[in-house]
Amino acid sequence: MKLLAKFKNSRIGSSIQYHIKPRKVKFEWQDTPVDWIPNQPFVSYFINEINNILPAGEFWFCRLYNRVLPKVTDEKLAEDVRAFIRQEAMHAQAHVSANKEYLTVRHIDIQRNLEIMDFLFGKLLADQPLGFKVPKVLDHQWDLFRLGIVATVEHMTCVLGKYALYNKKWAELGADPNMLDLVKWHGAEEIEHRTVAFDLYRHLGGGYISRYYQSVIVIAAVLGLWVDGAAHIMGQDPRFADKKPAFYKPWIWREWASIAQSDNRLMPHPLWLVSQQLGYLMPWYDPVHEAKTEDAIAYLDQSPAAKRALPRVAA
């Protein structure tokens, strides 16, 4: 009985020895074209939609993690969580700058997409969902459910981070260096902090079986929101006027799959993304083994946006 009690009272802490480093960045959008990958308007719009999706979610990550931080009893994990919060806040600010200084300036109406994300993270997944107060007895379970959603999303962002970091095709096609740096910098930091969400979820009591339904929710939400948002901004371009892109129309899904199938270095296939979630469902899943931290750090050390921000930090 004593051994069982000791096991129950033990908590999983940080699974990494290295220290996560928050960085400031500065992006300059004045010369970035809408088709930031030349002659690839579909892919450019599709990846541009990430700028609409991410800020509300990343600010929500920060609010939720600040809320549960006092419950963390492992000192190294608490350090990881604080660094994660700072990195996610910078990610959100970088994508907000892309929305304001890049997409909006080029007369792309993104307000509808931003409002959907604000509703999802500001109301539906808020501390008081849709304004309803969570009963005190269920308060921790509501936090734990949301932490599980974050851990599932972070597995997906690690997968996408690897895809972006190692992608050479975009540069070969003459991709805009500023947008290329944004997706690679963000992807590299997702790799750097890939363990934090999973460690925190388990540290505060997250279980194995929950990963299954959380994965279904996250996969459906991410793919649905991504396609819906991309269709909205794409539909404003006269080049796609005859297609009338929409989430519920097969064309945009077929086009995504067709482009990815013809060259999966241009964009990842939707079925590939789904398949990448299977590793997260294994009992032995460990995010440490999902990517190479040294490759991420190597890119972050030479990121133009990070270097551009250094004089501002020094000042």
13: left (phi over 0), alpha (psi -120 to 50) or beta: beta
State how far Cα 160 lies from the chain centre. 8
- Does residue 170 lie within any of the structural domains? yes
CATH no. for residue 184? 1.10.620
Q: What is the DSSP letter of 18?
A: S
Give the whole-angstrom CA distance, residue 235 versus residue 39: 17
- Does residue 211 lie within any of the structural domains? yes
- Does residue 12 lie within any of the structural domains? no
Report H helices in 166-278. 169-172, 177-192, 196-203, 210-234, 250-262, 270-275
- How many domains is the chain built from? 1
Cα–Cα–Cα angle for 298, 304, 117, rounded to 5 degrees: 95
Domain interval for residue 98? 41-309
One-letter amino acid for residue 290 of the chain? E
- Does residue 130 lie within any of the structural domains? yes
CB of 160 closer than 8 Å to CB of 185: no
- Does residue 16 lie within any of the structural domains? no
Q: What is the DSSP code string of 67-103?
A: HHGGG---HHHHHHHHHHHHHHHHHHHHHHHHIIIII
- Does residue 181 lie within any of the structural domains? yes
Each residue's pLDDT tens digit in the chain (315 positions)?
343 333 343 468 999 999 999 999 999 999 999 999 999 999 999 999 999 999 999 999 999 999 999 999 999 999 999 999 999 999 999 999 999 999 999 999 999 999 999 999 999 999 999 999 999 999 999 999 999 999 999 999 999 999 999 999 999 999 999 999 999 999 999 999 999 999 999 999 999 999 999 999 999 999 999 999 999 999 999 999 999 999 999 999 999 999 999 999 999 999 999 999 999 999 999 999 999 999 999 999 999 999 998 864 444
- Does residue 241 lie within any of the structural domains? yes
The model carries a pTM of: 0.93
Give the whole-angstrom CA distance, residue 245 versus residue 251: 7
